[in-house]
A and B are shown apart, each in its own frame.
Chain A
Amino acid sequence: MKNKLPWIILGVFLLWVGYSLLPKSPAGIDHAGFGKLPVLLNGRLQPMDSVAMNALLQIRGIRNIPLEGFDTEGNWGKFQELPYDMNEPFKARSWYDFDKHPDKLDATQWLMEVMMRPELADERYLFAVNHPDLISNYDLNGKGLDRSGLRFFSFHELQPHIGRIEAESGKVNEKPELRTPYERAIAKLSHTLVLYLRLKNSLQPQDTDDFAAELDGYLTEIGPEIEAFERYRNDEDYDETAITNLLTRMERYDAANRLAYPLLVPPAAPDEKPDDWNSVGKALMDTIHTRNVPEAVTLYAGLSSAYNSGDADGFNAVLARYRDRLNVQFPQELSKAEWEHLYNRFSPFHKSIVLYIVAFLLACCSWFRFSEWMNRSAHFLILLAVLIHTTGLVTRMILENRPPVTNLYSSAIFVGWGAVILGLVLERFYRDGIGNVIAGIVGFLTLLIAHNLSLSGDTMEMMQAVLDTNFWLATHVVVITLGYSATFVAGFLSLVYIARGLFTKTLSRATAKGLARMVYGIICFATLFSFVGTVLGGIWADQSWGRFWGWDPKENGALMIVIWNALILHCRWGGIVREQGLINLAVIGNVITAFSWFGVNLLSIGLHSYGFMDGSFQWMVIFTISQMFFLGLGVIPQRYWLSFSKFRSAPSTATG
């Protein structure tokens, strides 16, 4: 039985992974099809679904919206149907309410509401507002939705205060790093409100009733209006009402154009200007000159009207027509958007995160019970996780047409990937679960960091001119990031050494020796990669800015890793430290790597601001303190360690 357990566990997780890849039944309105439509945002083509997901993450921090919950009396139901109590917010399902499965909107479904039925979207509990002063200042105490202490409010509830929120957010400190928590909260709220308004105006002006009806006969209507305008310009007699009508019309489209967030209308001449996408508002304003409404606008209007009247067949038919249209002119863009949509749905890194943590726990447990099956299960799960992790990484590279690391988010993904691979290599040599533990924990932590970084918006943004070089991104950035991975692996191996040796009896002398040898080997590897990576960075800087070295914080951070790794190696070669000393030095390597990876990015932050103690800085401090704590444990003489107390009489020897 125990021999089969690892396979069974692997099978269960495989089913879980496979389930999310199954296409959902297409009955009713084809949400997924809408989510696959390509639009231009942040300078790149992406599916509607990415727009929706990134916006929802920014506004709500979570990728979906529940439609059901409890009222103050504890009754369960749709929020719209529950009695609205002015004194207490609704409550969302808590984790222990196992019998409740609230209906939810996924990101694309939500975006469709926002774009095409805003009056419904305005009622959704969307905006995360948690600063207590903000809640009381805007009289939100008894409103909104409470989800385990986190508060969410609808646009409808915030709408009366928009003027004040805008005024207040206009007064916050211009430098983001000097803002107080309250200022940050108000700035964020204002930012997300604007984002929401922009989404509302992207497909049609937000006050539209029936978009298809509005455009039906539009050209015949504006004909005389434009004529009147021409007559006015030529100083001839003109119809004043016609001109006023035209102006009112255009003002409305102009407002929609200014607010539009994703650009929905594909270019008329894609061969000349492939990224000349336009907003619906702009396309309608241009009709004055072209006397022609682009087909995409008409089709989107058809979608909107069908969606509003609940005509699923009509909606799907228009959608199919638009996709056929795109397939002729933009086959590549369409298929790229479909791939990205699949990638979003599959969300590989969220899958891996779960697998890594489960594997980590299994591998840790295997030491105590010496149960081989747990370790084997952990190993299988890590192999599965790394497969998914790699798939995600490669998909991103193909979608972006870039090397793996292009921003902080992708560096977290890649640091984790490198560390997991190293962990697997170690496991292959030693087969004692240590590699699995390292792969599990570092994979989990780095993907967690990546998840939190993804909350701030699009993770596949376009590269600034100076970074727009795949050669340097592929060499310098990849090599230096692998250097981070390796240093972290050495550091985490040391944590395992300390924790296992001090608190458990499971660390045999031989294993300890093996661990120290792993740390040493990995540090060699880390030195090579961080040195070459740093110098390559210098050479890139020489190519683009005219200096090899500028003592810029990021450069200094990289230099610190190199020097520290070199120091460890020299200490080791000179016999200045032995096993325990090596381990402790490697723990400090963790702090230095974290500093140069994240800490230096925080330096633009003024050290004196009150609001400084939140977000990543706080985590940076917590991590540093935890490492110092481990270091404190690490220097305890080994005769007091649980694992080694029985060897007290044996002389400790340096390992080679």
Chain B
Amino acid sequence: MVSKLLAVLTSLKLTVLCLAVAVILVFIGTIAQVDQGLYRAQELYFKSFLIYWPGTGFPVFPGGYTVGTVLLVNLLAAHGKRFQFSRKKFGIFLTHVGLILLLLGQLFTDLLSRESALHFEEGESKNYSVDFRKNELALIDRSDKRTETIVSVPESLLDEGAVLKDDRLPFRVRVHQHWPNLDVRMPNPHNEKPTGFFAPTADRGGRVWIRPRPSETAMDQRDNPGATIELLVGERSLGTWFVSTLLKPSPLDFDNRKYDVVLRHRRYYEPFSLTLIKATHDVYKGTEVPKNFSSRVRLLNPETRVDRETLIYMNYPLRYGGLTFYQHQMAANEMVTQSGLLPSSTLQVVRNPTWLTPYLACLLVGAGLIIQFAIHLVGFLRKQRTKVRPGTAPPSGGRSKRTAQDRR
């Protein structure tokens, strides 16, 4: 039984099957992006173990994680079983080590990497970046003028009926309702309530009309979740709040301390700050085609006493503190300055501890393939030289010799 399983796990047929499944998977996952959007299709097809028939819980095809795992196991098992060092197989060995590294690297990237954005205007400093795909309920103690104390709860914990508490907070949070994505309208005396909208049952946080809507699929669209929550001290209620990423923080005075209650995009704080000194946005004369985006920033870390200026531009990111800052968007052209706004820049902030693996993997696989195919080619050429060539052309030894010499 075990040996049979081992035979299957190490077989080349399994490799071929995995590769065939992978091609199909990549194809349907790519086509699905048309309807589902890049992000969701990626979650459904590539970052999943099984793909379900739409609308049912019925699995119909293995997902990216399954194929990747099986392929990895197959690779490791086959090499474990058949590995023996020989010069003839060295290229193949190197190639597969590189592949294993690449697959593992991507797995860890999936697990460990984090993307966020840092938007600032010229002159502005920030010590945090914002993750637009994730949201948090933040309770901010603003009593101290110099530092804020923030307790935040990821949106994923905001289940209806849940009661959340934290020792740093004098009160508990009870979640009444939670909507993953909402249309929000501000009422005014002149308009009537649009159809489908209703007012959330909360006495604080602003008067609004809301309407739940399905999750966004387009790349440039974000979900705007909302929730109604109640703050409790013992069993006494301090009130119910409607919070949404589209609304401003609502203030709360309690026990001589000032708080803000807000549902916002998740923020990651860093021990250092970046200040935007200058944003540059050049286009080619007579066109709208961007020629150059660049941000001159000042990097300040009081702990390590780092204080330096640097230029971040396309293809030249800043790597610091385990993070990489990439030039992403830019609003600094004539239109911006003419409309009286300050030029601003958005950096993409990525934490990816395994970012070096693809570099190494590429080297290994590339070298492995070159070695292997060079062995093939040399063998082929040798055969060509000695053998009468097949084909319709009349064989001619003189020519074949010339061919071989030309190759050198």
| A531 and B315 contacting across the interface, CB-CB below 8 Å | no
Given contacts A508-B392, A556-B29, A570-B19, contact A524 B290 (CB under 8 A): no
Binds A, one of B8-16, B119-127, B187-195, B228-236: B8-16
Tell me, yes or no, whether B398 is within 8 Å of chain A by CB: no
Interfacial chain A residues near B41, Cβ < 8 Å: 551
Interfacial chain B residues near A539, Cβ < 8 Å: 358-359, 362
Given contacts A277-B285, A563-B19, contact A549 B26 (CB under 8 A): no
| B287 and A462 contacting across the interface, CB-CB below 8 Å | yes
**Chain B interface mostly:** helix
Cα distance A375–B370 in the bound complex, in angstroms: 33
| B314 and A553 contacting across the interface, CB-CB below 8 Å | no
Of A276, A375, A469, A556, most B-chain CB atoms within 10 Å = A556
Interfacial chain A residues near B393, Cβ < 8 Å: 372, 375, 430-433
| Complex interface residues of chain A between 512 and 565 (CB less than 8 A to chain B) | 513-514, 517, 521, 524-525, 527-528, 531-532, 535-536, 538-540, 542-553, 556-557, 559-560, 563-564
How many residues on the B side are at the interface (Cβ–Cβ under 8 A)?
Answer: 69
| B287 and A514 contacting across the interface, CB-CB below 8 Å | no
Tell me, yes or no, whether B30 is within 8 Å of chain A by CB: yes
Interfacial chain A residues near B106, Cβ < 8 Å: 548-549
Given contacts A431-B391, A547-B350, A570-B19, contact A531 B369 (CB under 8 A): yes
Residue of B at shortest CB range from A545?
Answer: B326
| A560 and B27 contacting across the interface, CB-CB below 8 Å | yes
Tell me, yes or no, whether A62 is within 8 Å of chain B by CB: no
| B23 and A564 contacting across the interface, CB-CB below 8 Å | yes
Tell me, yes or no, whether A573 is within 8 Å of chain B by CB: yes
Chain A proximity mask over B381-407: 1 for CB below 8 Å, otherwise 0:
000100001111100000100010010
Tell me, yes or no, whether B159 is within 8 Å of chain A by CB: no
Cα distance A40–B16 in the bound complex, in angstroms: 54
| A275 and B285 contacting across the interface, CB-CB below 8 Å | yes
How many residues on the A side are at the interface (Cβ–Cβ under 8 A)?
Answer: 78
Interfacial chain B residues near A545, Cβ < 8 Å: 326, 348
| Complex interface residues of chain A between 33 and 60 (CB less than 8 A to chain B) | 40-44
Tell me, yes or no, whether A606 is within 8 Å of chain B by CB: yes
Interfacial chain A residues near B35, Cβ < 8 Å: 607
| B284 and A574 contacting across the interface, CB-CB below 8 Å | no
| B369 and A576 contacting across the interface, CB-CB below 8 Å | no
Cα distance A544–B315 in the bound complex, in angstroms: 4
Cα distance A468–B366 in the bound complex, in angstroms: 26
Given contacts A465-B293, A466-B314, A574-B16, contact A42 B29 (CB under 8 A): no
Given contacts A521-B376, A539-B359, A546-B324, contact A465 B392 (CB under 8 A): no
| A557 and B391 contacting across the interface, CB-CB below 8 Å | no
Chain A proximity mask over B239-272: 1 for CB below 8 Å, otherwise 0:
0000000000000000000000000000000000
Tell me, yes or no, whether B373 is within 8 Å of chain A by CB: yes
Chain B proximity mask over A257-289: 1 for CB below 8 Å, otherwise 0:
000000100000000000111000000000000
| A542 and B355 contacting across the interface, CB-CB below 8 Å | yes
| A535 and B362 contacting across the interface, CB-CB below 8 Å | yes
Cα distance A573–B78 in the bound complex, in angstroms: 14
Tell me, yes or no, whether B38 is within 8 Å of chain A by CB: yes
Cα distance A88–B376 in the bound complex, in angstroms: 67
| A468 and B23 contacting across the interface, CB-CB below 8 Å | no
Say how far B238's CB is from chain A's closest CB, in angstroms: 42
| B391 and A432 contacting across the interface, CB-CB below 8 Å | yes
Interfacial chain B residues near A514, Cβ < 8 Å: 389-391
Tell me, yes or no, whether A646 is within 8 Å of chain B by CB: no
| B292 and A465 contacting across the interface, CB-CB below 8 Å | yes
Tell me, yes or no, whether B317 is within 8 Å of chain A by CB: yes
Cα distance A445–B231 in the bound complex, in angstroms: 70
Interfacial chain A residues near B390, Cβ < 8 Å: 430, 508, 510-511, 513-514
Q: Which of B22, B376, B391 contacts A511 (CB 8 A)?
A: B391
Given contacts A465-B293, A528-B366, A547-B115, contact A592 B314 (CB under 8 A): no
| Complex interface residues of chain A between 482 and 533 (CB less than 8 A to chain B) | 506, 508, 510-511, 513-514, 517, 521, 524-525, 527-528, 531-532
Chain A proximity mask over B164-188: 1 for CB below 8 Å, otherwise 0:
0000000000000000000000000
Say how far B325's CB is from chain A's closest CB, in angstroms: 8
Q: Which of B16, B286, B389, B403 contacts A570 (CB 8 A)?
A: B16
Tell me, yes or no, whether A167 is within 8 Å of chain B by CB: no
Cα distance A525–B377 in the bound complex, in angstroms: 10
Interfacial chain A residues near B38, Cβ < 8 Å: 550-552
Tell me, yes or no, whether B33 is within 8 Å of chain A by CB: yes
Total A-B contacts with CB atoms under 8 angstroms apart: 198
Q: Which of B313, B314, B392 contacts A433 (CB 8 A)?
A: B392
Interfacial chain B residues near A566, Cβ < 8 Å: 19
Residue of A at shortest CB range from B281?
Answer: A465
Cα distance A545–B325 in the bound complex, in angstroms: 9
| A462 and B284 contacting across the interface, CB-CB below 8 Å | yes
Say how far A510's CB is from chain B's closest CB, in angstroms: 3
Chain A proximity mask over B86-119: 1 for CB below 8 Å, otherwise 0:
0000000000000000100010010001010000
Interfacial chain A residues near B399, Cβ < 8 Å: 431
| A431 and B389 contacting across the interface, CB-CB below 8 Å | yes
| A546 and B315 contacting across the interface, CB-CB below 8 Å | no
Tell me, yes or no, whether B128 is within 8 Å of chain A by CB: no
Cα distance A603–B36 in the bound complex, in angstroms: 12
Tell me, yes or no, whether A367 is within 8 Å of chain B by CB: yes
| Complex interface residues of chain A between 365 and 380 (CB less than 8 A to chain B) | 367, 370, 372, 375
| A42 and B12 contacting across the interface, CB-CB below 8 Å | no
| B16 and A43 contacting across the interface, CB-CB below 8 Å | no
Chain B proximity mask over A127-145: 1 for CB below 8 Å, otherwise 0:
0000000000000000000
Residue of B at shortest CB range from A427?
Answer: B393
| A528 and B369 contacting across the interface, CB-CB below 8 Å | yes
| A40 and B285 contacting across the interface, CB-CB below 8 Å | yes
Chain B proximity mask over A577-605: 1 for CB below 8 Å, otherwise 0:
00000000000000010010000100110
Say how far A99's CB is from chain B's closest CB, in angstroms: 44
Say how far A502's CB is from chain B's closest CB, in angstroms: 18
Cα distance A567–B13 in the bound complex, in angstroms: 10
Interfacial chain B residues near A465, Cβ < 8 Å: 290-293, 313-314
| A556 and B358 contacting across the interface, CB-CB below 8 Å | no
Cα distance A510–B290 in the bound complex, in angstroms: 57
Interfacial chain A residues near B384, Cβ < 8 Å: 429
Interfacial chain B residues near A375, Cβ < 8 Å: 393
| B286 and A560 contacting across the interface, CB-CB below 8 Å | no
Interfacial chain A residues near B389, Cβ < 8 Å: 429-431, 514
Tell me, yes or no, whether A461 is within 8 Å of chain B by CB: yes
| Complex interface residues of chain B between 171 and 223 (CB less than 8 A to chain A) | none
Cα distance A556–B23 in the bound complex, in angstroms: 9
Cα distance A572–B369 in the bound complex, in angstroms: 16
Interfacial chain B residues near A517, Cβ < 8 Å: 380
Tell me, yes or no, whether A472 is within 8 Å of chain B by CB: yes
Say how far B206's CB is from chain A's closest CB, in angstroms: 34
Tell me, yes or no, whether B162 is within 8 Å of chain A by CB: no
Q: Which of A40, A549, A553, A567 contacts B19 (CB 8 A)?
A: A567
Tell me, yes or no, whether A642 is within 8 Å of chain B by CB: no
Cα distance A370–B326 in the bound complex, in angstroms: 62
| A469 and B315 contacting across the interface, CB-CB below 8 Å | yes
Say how far A506's CB is from chain B's closest CB, in angstroms: 8
Interfacial chain B residues near A560, Cβ < 8 Å: 23, 26-27
Interfacial chain A residues near B358, Cβ < 8 Å: 535, 538-539, 542, 548
Tell me, yes or no, whether B31 is within 8 Å of chain A by CB: yes
Q: Which of B16, B373, B403 contacts A567 (CB 8 A)?
A: B16
| B23 and A563 contacting across the interface, CB-CB below 8 Å | yes
Chain B proximity mask over A296-327: 1 for CB below 8 Å, otherwise 0:
00000000000000000000000000000000
Interfacial chain B residues near A538, Cβ < 8 Å: 358, 362
| A-B residue pairs in contact (CB < 8 Å), sample of 5 | A43-B283, A465-B290, A557-B30, A570-B16, A604-B34
Known: A43-B289, A549-B106. 15 other contacts (CB 8 A): A42-B286, A43-B287, A462-B284, A506-B392, A540-B315, A546-B317, A547-B352, A549-B109, A553-B33, A563-B19, A564-B19, A566-B19, A570-B15, A595-B27, A603-B34
- 5 tightest A-B CB contacts, nearest first: A43-B284, A510-B390, A574-B12, A432-B391, A546-B350
